[in-house]
Structure 1
């Protein structure tokens, strides 16, 4: 049987692509045994333009680069359940995902990296030179935080974790991780893809309870 999309191993898992009102990419991954219809609603919200690319600043003592993303100060912060931005949209809740879903992936509205990617008109040699410059250490060094941040939603339910999902849903989530890791690794300037699960106020999570995983990429 043919694959439904490059990077998907299980041909029963459908991949449906869409675009949010501000141009961000939204991808639905349907379970192998999904009962959802193929058609999905269109995002008809009026949204502000996407933020400018964040800035990285280098710590001269460690050589580490830290992303400073001022636009993230405007992100959703501990909203009530009826205003959950990861729930399917309703008339009362203009959330990030227009339709009900099994697994959904979309570009973060308030990214730590991006939303733009670097442009290296000189090709591979120019890219290699730029990356070598990143590894150098100095005072007051700053660079654009090029990259892409995505949110992976395991379920439209408000509570749960990967461990609470059905076997079918767990397979869909794993397929989505693999699909997005391969796709993001192929983007220009991306050196690392780091999937992690956001859970708990102790680490600064701004959504109280959610089966979601944020996947940022960086140069």
Structure 2
């Protein structure tokens, strides 16, 4: 077993190389220990040749990765590639052992640090340079992110911070997005609780616009937008779901989804690595509470998209607001929120519930109701 690596958040971690050459890092609340060989579903690497093409009217890159057509799709439980290997004849992605969270290079990446230059093509075409990682939240295939203890969620925040730091250290990554898709309604292809990390060699359009708006606000008002946002929401109380001291959950006044919820630090910071240990613990508590409330809202496991927004890695950006955005895909019991004409065609959302109403409904949910699901 590899020796634990040093980390600014004092987590335990051990690095390994899979038989097909991909990297694997195991993280734990206690020292990591593996009890079998490091596995891989195949000893041969996937020939990944991702390509980016420039969209001249939207001003953004589009990713193409034809090899992803062959990725695993909703396998039966006995063929779960994210569970620890129990039969060496049918290896999965993970070894047996003592650890809490696993991160490995995606076997079917949309971006790759080793992407070769394409042989030309229409539009402005270049190699799909970046990185794609899978983050397995737990060894329990039946669980969910909300089932993690507060200590384990604190660890996950540290893992996301560590991955961001490591990817930035390559010198080739400008932006890192940690996210979780949950539910077949959102397009999940593996039920085992997990998320992903996409690391880009450029600044994606959402983060670019967020940075520009935040820096313009800071230049005009002389302070970060997040500071004023927290003060405003704490004063009104209408949209705050839980005030966790160093972190808040809030349905923002401009929410695009009916029960869209943000988790924000009270002290404005730009990266997860900037949080102090008490702030990270508060973030974990509020995140767990939010996930349980969303599940308890309609008595079903809410399909959602969770995204972690951090500053670009090309230098300090103190104006950028670190925060987590949660987009629940149910707007009412049994009713999905679909992105239709105005959302897809114009980029302007239509929401049929005011944020103040949504926040009141979420405050009324007992988190224990979500825990029982």
Partner of 1:195: 178
Higher RCO (C-alpha 8 Å, min separation 6):
1
CA distance in 2, matches of 1:95, 1:187: 28
Determine the C-alpha separation between the residues in 2 that align with 1:117 and 1:204: 26
Q: Secondary structure at the match of 1:195?
A: strand
Alignment of 1:88-103 (within 5 A): 88-91=84-87, 93-100=90-97, 101-103=99-101
1:155 and 2:138 aligned: yes
Kept after mapping to 1: 8 A contact 2:35/2:95: no
- Is the Cα contact below 8 Å between 2:115 and 2:127 reproduced in 1? no
Aligned residue for 2:33, secondary structure, equals: coil
SS at match of 1:198: strand
Task: Return the structure number with greater helix share.
Answer: 2
Q: Which runs of 5+ in 1 are unaligned?
A: 120-138
Cα distance between partner residues in 1 of 2:40 and 2:130: 26
Count of residue correspondences: 192
1:107 corresponds to which residue? 105
Name the TM-score, length of structure 1 as normaliser. Answer: 0.79
Whole-angstrom CA distance in 2 between matches of 1:115 and 1:84: 27
* Higher deviation after alignment, 139-148 or 20-29: 139-148
Alignment match of 1:41 (pick from 16, 37, 43): 37
Name stretches of at least 5 consecutive residues in structure 2 with no aligned partner.
Answer: 202-373
Q: CA deviation digits over 1:117-154, x for unaligned, max 9?
A: 689xxxxxxxxxxxxxxxxxxx7111111111101111
Q: Secondary structure at the match of 2:68?
A: helix
Q: Secondary structure at the match of 2:19?
A: coil
1:170 aligns with 2:153: yes
Moved more, 166-175 or 101-110: 166-175
Instruction: Please give the per-residue CA displacement for 1:16-70, whole angstroms capped at 9, x wherever unaligned.
Output: 11111111000000124x7x63655332764222323300111111111010011
Q: In 1, Cα distance between the equivalents of 2:36 and 2:193?
A: 21
- Highest Rg: 1 or 2? 2
- The residue that corresponds to 2:13 in the other structure is 15
CA RMSD of aligned residues (A): 2.3
CA contact (8 A) 2:133 2:198 kept: yes
Shift of 1:115: 4.5
Q: Equivalent residue for 1:217?
A: 199
The CA deviation at 1:202 is 2.2
Residues 199, 210 of structure 1: 8 Å contact kept:
no
Answer whether contact 2:41 2:92 (CA < 8 A) is retained. no
Against the structure 1 CA distance between its residues 68 and 46, is the aligned structure 2 distance closer, same or farther, given a 3 Å change threshold? Answer: closer
Alpha-carbon shift at residue 157 of structure 1 (Å): 1.0
> Are the counterparts in 2 of residues 54 and 113 from structure 1 also a CA contact under 8 Å?
yes
Instruction: Return the alpha-carbon distance in structure 2 between the equivalents of residues 8 and 203 of structure 1.
Output: 34
- Structure 1 equivalent of residue 26 of structure 2: 28
Residues 51 and 115 in structure 1, CA contact (< 8 A), matched pair in contact too = no
The one-character-per-residue Cα deviations of 1:144-192 (angstroms, maximum 9, x if unpaired) are 1111110111101113332221122112211111110111122232111
| Secondary structure at the counterpart of residue 182 of structure 2 | coil
Sort the Cα spacing of 1:40 and 1:177 in 2 relative to 1 into closer, same or farther, 3 A: farther
Secondary structure at the aligned position of 2:199 is classed as: strand
Residue 128 of structure 1 aligns with which residue?
Answer: none
**TM-score normalized by structure 2?**
0.48
2: distance between equivalents of 1:103 and 1:49? 23
Aligned to 1:134: none
